[in-house]
Amino acid sequence: MTDIASDTGAAPGNPPRRRDRFGPPLLALLAAVPPLMMLREVLRYPQMHFFDYWWVLLDITEPDGSLRPEALLGFRNEHPFVLPSLLFWLSARFGGGLNQPLGLLIIAFGVGCVLLVLAMLPTSLTRWQRAALLTATSTLVFNPHGIHNYVRSMSGASWILAMLLVLAALLAMQRRRGVLAVLAGLLASISYGTSFAVWPALALVAWLRGDRRRWVVTPLVVGVLVVAAWLVLRGPQGGGGGSPTDDPAQALLTGLSMLGMVWTGTEPAIALMAGVGGLAVLVLHARLDPQRRAASAEWWGLATYALGCAVLIAGSRAAFGEDAGLQSRYNSMTAALWIAVLVIAVAWPRRPDLRAVVVGATVLTTVAMGAPMAQEVRDDAPNQRLLAIAARTGATDAVTDRFPEPDRLLPRLRALHHYPFNEHFDLGCPDGTGIGDRVDTGGWRVPSVGSLREPRPGGWDVVLNAETDQVRGGTRVVEGWAISGIERARCVVLLDHLGTVVGAGVTDLPRPDAEADTVGTEIGLGFRAVAPARPGPLRVAFHFPDGWWIRPLTDNPEVVS
């Protein structure tokens, strides 16, 4: 492995070796892989926005969907939320309320973060070092741990945007553009509350660089004013968790595990040790001569920002449990710490021989360890698809944990032609069957009513198993599993006695119990469907590769209070 600390090795007047001529650009090209992988995740995720988006949309719109401009200055869970709220409104008004286009914008913000880090890298670094740090930065910004910020774009609209603005502020301070640094810091501060940590970071950069005293004092004064204004203007304090945050040990666990979360899957103890390790590396590099201290100022500022975020999160979220610091949305802040650690360790090393190992281990380990977090978010995607169906049909009583105040929210969505009330909504059925369609079911096959199972010549069965059939408030919920031969269902719909599609659901849900009894079949046999609870018979139908199968449901579903 080529040591990222080496120079080209070419003697004066001699052309560089082929490895040193083409190696750095090829290594730098690897920086494109993480955002491309995240792009794939965004394009695969449902178009339905996630929970906090709906609360903000309720706050910033009138019942007819028009904007309430003054509401953009409000708070969300105590956080100043001006710029994310504006992005939400633009998405709702001009973007069809689609999750994926906003996710693409968040990816662009992430790319901007990587480019800002590249612009801040010391000029003394070799081409190998710059390429390696560029790739490592991209890996950390687009780490699988942070998938939440991109596929649930409403989250990245605050966290990744705030990170982008913080990096812009640090770059401006590095270039001695103090006014621009303060302006970028102000924009970051109205994006999310954790960005308040940018102010001590900017002051530290100015002090380490030996700038005029006013540029050391100004960020601190502005920061105090920003926090004071926030304390005066914020609404009622948010809450949550099992108890107040009054345990210093719990707060320490939350903050340190947040700083080290990219080094583990879901284990707080390992994350805590990694966080301590990262801070230890910084301590080992803290004794610098004046020249190095000035040259590395912005990276110490970035580390200070990450540490400040950890303190703020520890103080507000520790009561949520021992894994409170391992939330996917916190990835941008732990990335800030490790970007700073890597740059400092490569540019001003205590152990030059370990630089390549440190960068390589960071890239490989943090990506691999992000797999459990990423899979957890992916596994939730069917619930978002079901939410879109529930909203479109008005059967929202089964999704109240994801869709607040539907009586207020649904009229706004219809007025804005917001997804799922526009042409982008579909059920994913191969033949285009959709909500409200009247279909001719004469050619659809029906299994034997007694066993709901139909033997086939090859010895395989069709099983349409509706295990749960309940009425919850104004919503009918049907759950179970279905199989035709060795194939799982591609889509599921609910029809009334006239053949009108009145509801639908999601398929490909894990059902290990059913899969264990059907050896050799595909995984993901489960389904869940919803429809408005109405009198009259209802039927459930499934589309398999060999066509539609349909079966009746009970006329007396269980009523759940």
Which residue type occupies 32? A
Position 511 scores a pLDDT of 87
Q: If you average pLDDT over every residue of the chain, what do you get?
A: 88
Evaluate whether 194 touches 333 at the Cβ level (below 8 Å): yes
Q: What is the pLDDT of residue 429?
A: 92
CA atoms of 337 and 63, how far apart (whole Å): 43
Q: Can you tell me the distance from the alpha carbon of 459 to that of 443, in angstroms, rounded to the nearest whole number?
A: 23
Give yes or no for residue 340 having a pLDDT over 80: yes
The whole-number pLDDT of residue 240 equals: 43
Alpha helices in 242-330, H assignment, sequence order: 248-259, 268-284, 290-295, 297-317
pLDDT digits (tens, 9 = 90+) for 21-66: 788 999 999 999 999 999 999 999 999 999 889 999 999 999 998 9
The model's pLDDT over 87-121, given as tens digits with 9 standing for 90+, comes to: 999 999 999 999 999 999 999 999 999 999 999 99
pLDDT of residue 9: 45
487: β partners: 484
Residue 455 in 3-state DSSP?
strand
- pLDDT surpasses 50 at 371: yes
User: Side-chain half-sphere of 283: how many Cα atoms within 13 Å?
Assistant: 6
Q: Alpha-carbon distance 547 to 549, whole Å?
A: 7
**CA–CA separation, 165 and 185 (whole Å):** 7
Q: CA 486, 380, 254, 111 torsion: positive or negative?
A: positive
* Statement: residue 456 has pLDDT above 70: no
